[in-house]
Structure 1
């Protein structure tokens, strides 16, 4: 697969709806899920869905009057690329620097750090 490109926020918002559903969705199902947060114009939504198809994130097919969308890129795959780029760009490859800045800015709590420590212990055999 070609290198994934970073998605604009609105396109990422659409992909999150499709990823979270875990199934193929129609245009109206995507619109209904998005509208739980704010109103969406159907023609603008169709334009963004077509961009996601052009970028290789979605495939679609038409059945009757409905168009359906299936992800071609897994959420886990996209997040891995995004997280790596963010870590490189903002934190100079340092996870410690990232966590420290989140903690110092009160973006994460002591409980979050405890959860992270437990995760690290589980992945390293308690070392």
Structure 2
């Protein structure tokens, strides 16, 4: 996995849109999507996109007057990074205590519990 760093909230908001859409994305397309939840000006978005390019999360090309952006990191890669980072910071906690912290008080559907059980069974066989 590539060397990743935790994204600030604003950059993470951009990446969520990038991961949802089919690349390439233009800054105009991103601004239109983000306008629904953010009140950013064009220079703000441009600055945040530049940072994401510098950090290796996006690549960019200039096409005419518009820049296009492509993700270099998948959502799954970032989720794995965030999960590992979280587990390392709370490594003194057992897996069970972490799972309880995530799901305490929530009602899980039988289908979700079946999926977790299937995952645990697979882990037991492969990590055994």
Match of 1:117 among 110, 113, 116: 113
Q: Does the residue aligned with 1:92 lie in a helix, a strand or coil?
A: coil
Q: Does the residue aligned with 1:68 lie in a helix, a strand or coil?
A: strand
Structure 1 equivalent of residue 56 of structure 2: 56
Q: Whole-Å Cα distance in 2 between the matches of residues 92 and 21 of structure 1?
A: 38
1:65 corresponds to 2:55? no
Structure 2 equivalent of residue 43 of structure 1: 43
Gaps of 5+ in 2: none
Q: Does the residue aligned with 2:67 lie in a helix, a strand or coil?
A: strand
Q: Which structure has the higher relative contact order (CA within 8 Å, separation 6+)?
A: 2
The aligned length equals 122
Write the mapping of 1:79-90 to structure 2, written as runs, cut at 5 A. Answer: 79-90=79-90
Q: Whole-Å Cα distance in 2 between the matches of residues 115 and 37 of structure 1?
A: 32
Q: Does the residue aligned with 2:37 lie in a helix, a strand or coil?
A: coil
Q: Does the residue aligned with 1:18 lie in a helix, a strand or coil?
A: helix
Change (3 A) 1:79 1:93: farther
Structure 2 equivalent of residue 17 of structure 1: 17
Q: How many angstroms does 1:17 deviate by?
A: 0.5
TM-score (norm 2): 0.83
CA RMSD of aligned residues (A): 2.0
Deviation per CA, 1:7-55: give whole Å up to 9, x if none. Answer: 1111011011001113210001111111121222110110000000000
